[in-house]
Amino acid sequence: MEHGKFFFVGLGGSGMMPLAMIVRARGGDVAGSDRGFDAGRSTPKFDALAAAGIRLFPQDGSGIAADRLVVASAAIEDSVPDIASARRLGAPRATRAELLARLFNEAALPIGVAGTSGKSTVTGMIGWILHATGRDPTVMNGAVMKDFVRPDTPFASALVGSGDAFVSEVDESDGSIALYSPSIAVLNNVSLDHKSLDELRQLFGDFAAKATTTIVNIGDPEAAALAATLPAKTLVTVAIESPADLMAENLSPEPFAIGFDLVIRDARHRVRLSVPGRHNVANALTAIGAAVAAGVDRDEAVAAIAGFTGLRRRFDLVGEAAGVAVIDDFGHNPDKIAATLDTLHAHPGRLLILFQPHGYGPLKVMGHELARTFAERMAPDDVLTMPDPVYFGGTVKREVGSADIVAAVAKAGRQAWHDPDRADAARRLVELSRPGDRIIVMGARDDTLSTLAADMLTRLGD
């Protein structure tokens, strides 16, 4: 690494924390700041960072020094005191994506995972297969990988190994996917989230074209169209119940697992995943394809995937009380929400949904699609409540809010409520619940949603 000293602004973010942990584990002198630390939020996370030898400073400019590379995420405004101090002192600066791309591109075997949905899960699956088969990978994830959680690594969103592979999800939302040069690329799907479809097609297409091998889920129409533009010799296709290089058949859904037949050429393997849903079958296909492309024996990869137990906040069963299950889920865009609701509706029971949007900007971009997804995927007896979007400071236009989405869902004939304060939203669902219901807490960019879900479980048991 060119710089030995680093200062991460927004250290607690889901993309910043694992990067800081990797840099620290590789010998970097790491410090940082975060609004959440200043406000006393997410204390266990910051305790874990401190235990790893990362120094924490208030986000007031006091931690900045001229000889430290100042790393900031796209969410950090220029008005933040740390950034103003870095400018004043002339400290070197880089974005989170620039630093990650530098480490990724320097790796002997960079494996990049792209797509609108499923990136974190596929990254975790590939990381787990490579780890379980002795490849000792480095993994950069945006979510906690439950298989790697230990008492000394309670927030295992990063894994640091000495092997050739560097597995990372890559982000299209800010266009930084263009910085990455993968040897193996994975493309799950292409759908509306932070950018227009035309922009996404260009970004994902350019990313896939750089790789020696690209694994594409051709069950997704947009991804299939992109696959058609790639040279056949670089392409590995996957699909559920349609012809592909790796194909899944005979799916057997369970409430918190799913089985399927994996068909590769003439061979057929029965696989049981410890995570549920048709979407996770597609995720597993791309992960196995990437692992095989990385040199893992096919049978070993198939055996290893069964041991993957999932990610925190990805269809994460918090517990059951009074006959009601509480599930914590990262669903925040139309595709992710649809996948979660479809997985739940494969089994009996009413759904009580608390969805906290992850910002006013995303609501403006995809509010119509979100409302349509809830209206189409909710059953008549399901209930949705939406608090106001999460807001941690900064300037933002509030042109579309939760009330607008709720009004559209209710107009379509579904039960939907706007409870601006999420404590009221949680109280509503707990009071409405009856045995057999499933409560789902959904949303991104807010670690405290997990605490809310746990509190709801406790209240159910009182």
DSSP secondary structure string for all residues of 2-52: --SEEEEETTTSTTHHHHHHHHHHTT-EEEEE-HHHHHT-SHHHHHHHHHT
Task: State how far the Cα of 362 lies from the Cα of 84, in Å rounded to an integer.
Answer: 27
Model pLDDT for residues 417-442, shown as the tens digit of each residue: 999 999 999 999 999 999 999 999 99
pLDDT at 95: 94
CA distance 112 to 100: 11
Is beta strand 213-217 parallel, antiparallel or unpaired with respect to 235-240? parallel
Per-residue model confidence (pLDDT) at position 266: 80
What is the model's pLDDT at position 396? 65
b/e map of 235-266 (b: 16 or more CB within 10 Å)? bbbbbbeeebbbbbeeeebeebebbbebbbee
> In sequence order, what DSSP letters do the residues of 122-157 get, joined into one string?
HHHHHHHHHHHTT---EEE-SS-BGGG-BTTBSS-S
Edge-to-edge strands of the sheet including 438-443? 316-321, 324-329, 438-443, 351-356, 383-386, 415-418
User: For residue range 374-407, what is the model confidence (pLDDT) as tens digits?
Assistant: 999 999 999 999 999 987 665 567 888 999 999 9
Q: Is 459 exposed, middle or buried (0-12, 13-18, 19+ CB in 10 A)?
A: middle
Full-model pTM: 0.87
Residues of the chain with pLDDT under 50: none
Give pLDDT, residue 321: 97
CA pair distance 21, 5, nearest whole angstrom:
13
SS3 65: coil
Half-sphere exposure in the Cβ direction for 394 (13 Å, CA):
16
